[in-house]
Amino acid sequence: MLVLTRHLNQSLQVGEAVTLRILSINNGNVRFGIDAPSDVLILREELANRMNTAPLKSSVTDRKKNQPQVTYKPRRKKLVLDL
């Protein structure tokens, strides 16, 4: 496992198409945004476990078959997760 330290407004590039940015840090909680193409499946670990998927081991085609339908407003460009 790679362990990195990032500060507020710093980002991390994953591959060529995915960027993680630290948006806020408050009382030990970190809020970050994920900027990724729509064909990249992003799930919290507990949701992936609940769906009985292994996103890192399955092919993109397999993931698309198991991917839940998500509706979103096209004007929104970034997904923000509160962890």
Tokens matching residue 17: 């198409």
Give the total residue count for the chain: 83
Helix, coil or strand: residue 83: coil
Write out the residue range of the structural domain in which residue 17 sits. Answer: 11-82
pLDDT for residue 72: 46
Does residue 44 lie in a domain region? Answer: yes
- Check whether 20 has a pLDDT greater than 50: yes
- String of DSSP letters for 13-65: EETTTEEEEEEEEETTEEEEEEE--TTS----HHHHHHTT--TTTS-HHHHHH
Share of the chain above pLDDT 90, in %: 35
Query: Tens of pLDDT along 51-74?
Result: 764 555 555 555 555 555 554 445
Q: How many domains are there within the chain?
A: 1
pLDDT for residue 81: 61
pLDDT for residue 64: 56
Q: Identify which of 3, 42, 7, 1 has the alpha carbon closest to the alpha carbon of residue 21.
A: 7
Does residue 4 lie in a domain region? Answer: no
Tokens matching residue 5: 């330290």
| For residues 31-50, average pLDDT | 88
Model pTM score: 0.55
Does residue 1 lie in a domain region? Answer: no
Does residue 35 lie in a domain region? Answer: yes
Does residue 45 lie in a domain region? Answer: yes
